[in-house]
A and B are shown apart, each in its own frame.
Chain A
Amino acid sequence: MSFLTLEDVSFRYPNGYKAVENVNMSFSKGEAVAIVGQNGAGKTTTVKLMNGLLKPESGNVIIDGWNTKDYTTAQISRKVGYVFQNPDDQIFHSDVYSEIEFAPKRLGLPPEKIKESVMKAAELAGVVPYLKEHPYNLPFSMRKFVTIASVLAMESKVIILDEPSAGQDLLAMERLGLMIRTLVAEGKTVITITHDMEFVVNHFERVIVMANRRKISEGNKRDIFWDFDVLEESMLKQPHISRVSRSLQLEEKVLSIDEMMNHLQQVNNW
């Protein structure tokens, strides 16, 4: 059952630039979906349509039975949480704890519940050691996790992450992966924009590909990463290990190191 649906959605910015054209998408509860494509393909515009920041020029965006046209972004924020690309556009408290606490406090929850939400979000985003710090004393990559925690604390059903992998190190990437798995296990929908194909392989099943303002394909990551027409049109590359297996013309559509190892072991009967 679809929880969030984009029905034939188009959007044009006030300056006349058409950013998204006739896009259809739908997302269910408890799934993680990656949206990939070059800069300017329309990814960020698409996710901004999902939380009402932008309203479609034509078509409809339906979230849990709500049409975004009939609600303000502030209202929709209870259902859809959105983490911006740049954390500095979002942070406005002088310590991490207050920053995370902001949204649940606004929802008027009882104090114990607020504290619980804050701590849970902080743990999931890995910012517990920094709760008393001033967000601006943390490095950029950690500030991003502060904004993630502040959105997680709203406990919305859908969480949208706009390029969380940009500029992150190995440990941070693992933390992101763990976080997404946990959220999905709780029945939440996680929609992530990313440029990192290994990150997609490791943590997502379904992939949506955008190019030139349109959704050009969607499907299982294996089908997408082995569909060379789609990759060419979207100017994306296969994950690194897939490239090796493609050059060697291996029979199996390999995506990761583990799969490559298993495949080699099998064909050689080792």
Chain B
Amino acid sequence: MKEKSNNLLLDLYPSTKFLITLFIIITVFIVKGYLYGYLMVPLCLLLALYAKVFKELLGLLIKTLLVLITFIFLIQSFFYPGDTILWSWSFLSLRQEGIDFSLLLTSRIGAIGSALLLFFRITSVKDIVYSLEQLGLPSKVTYVVLSTLTIIPEMKKLSMTIMDAQKTRGVETEGNLRVRAKAFLPTLTPLILTSVASTEERAITLEARAFTAPVKKTSLYRIEKTKKDTVVRILLLLLLIVIIVWRVAL
């Protein structure tokens, strides 16, 4: 059973969290103008603040979205076709149409990006996989997803050990890039072979633990939908209707 964190947002069922994200994604396309989209970024940050993942989200936003948005802005502002030239220098000219388009595009990217990043910040992979399994995703698929997460640090540990083994056979691994690149090659074979060999044993382990037993599995780990999920879902639906009606009426 998943432990309650007593944080409304964190305790929501994964699909409810995803509905919040989906809501943002849909509405940025319904609501006219760029202001709404841009507003979604601080809104996501606010939610992140509440879920105590503000720093992580902000870091991610700066590292990924900010770079992307700046880049798009520059390209589109200068190269989007239009007649209203605001400023020009040599062959470059800044056009009003370009700026308008960039504002719209980047506001949408910003909103969608921060909504998705927020979702993955407040939902653990374990929870996502659990809810997908409940939806009927085969356990083989979910196993692959979950085990991949543990394989990466294991592979890293293994490659360190192999590097050590190479050093003791006279392979110089410390030094400049060329030296290290040369040392890298001999580590690949044992890394792959060991991984393959352990995959076979892993398969036997799974077999020994009745992984393929033809019955419906149970799960010690459980996340349940609560009244809060229902309330949030209804609220999202109502909001969506309001926005659509408002949009049509105008």
Chain A residues packing against B (C-beta within 8 Å): 48, 51, 53, 72-74, 77-78, 81-82, 84, 86, 88-94, 102-103, 106-107, 136, 150-151, 154
Question: Interface majority SS on B: helix, strand, loop or mixed?
Answer: helix
On chain A, the residues within 8 Å of B166 by CB distance are 92
Known: A92-B186, A92-B187. A73 touches B193 (CB 8 A): no
Contact B189 A89 (CB under 8 A): no
Would you list 23 pairs from A and B whose C-beta atoms are within 8 A, ordered by A residue? Answer: A48-B164, A51-B168, A72-B167, A74-B172, A77-B167, A84-B165, A88-B193, A89-B165, A90-B162, A90-B169, A91-B189, A91-B193, A92-B186, A92-B189, A93-B189, A94-B189, A103-B170, A106-B169, A106-B171, A107-B170, A151-B169, A154-B169, A154-B170
Interface string of B233-246 (1 = CB under 8 A from A): 00000000000000
On chain B, the residues within 8 Å of A73 by CB distance are 164, 167-168
On chain A, the residues within 8 Å of B165 by CB distance are 84, 89-90
Q: Could you tell me the distance between the alpha carbons of A92 and B169 in the complex, rounded to whole angstroms?
A: 11
B161: CB under 8 A from chain A?
yes
Contact B186 A74 (CB under 8 A): no
Query: Distance (Å) between the CB of B6 and the closest chain A CB?
Result: 32
Nearest neighbor of B159 in chain A, beta-carbon distance: A89
On chain A, the residues within 8 Å of B161 by CB distance are 84, 86, 89
Contact A72 B172 (CB under 8 A): yes
Q: Could you tell me the distance between the alpha carbons of A222 and B221 in the complex, rounded to whole angstroms?
A: 55
On chain A, the residues within 8 Å of B158 by CB distance are 89
Nearest neighbor of B161 in chain A, beta-carbon distance: A89
Tell me the number of A-to-B contacts counted with CB atoms below 8 Å.
70
Chain B residues packing against A (C-beta within 8 Å): 158, 161-162, 164-174, 186-190, 193-194, 197
Contact A150 B193 (CB under 8 A): no
Known: A89-B162, A90-B165. A74 touches B194 (CB 8 A): no
On chain A, the residues within 8 Å of B190 by CB distance are 88-92
Nearest neighbor of A136 in chain B, beta-carbon distance: B193
Contact B168 A81 (CB under 8 A): yes
Q: Could you tell me the distance between the alpha carbons of A82 and B165 in the complex, rounded to whole angstroms?
A: 8
Contact B186 A82 (CB under 8 A): no
Nearest neighbor of A106 in chain B, beta-carbon distance: B170
Query: Distance (Å) between the CB of B162 and the closest chain A CB?
Result: 5
Partner of B170, one of A48, A77, A89: A77
Most buried by A among B165, B186, B197: B165
On chain A, the residues within 8 Å of B170 by CB distance are 74, 77-78, 103, 106-107, 154
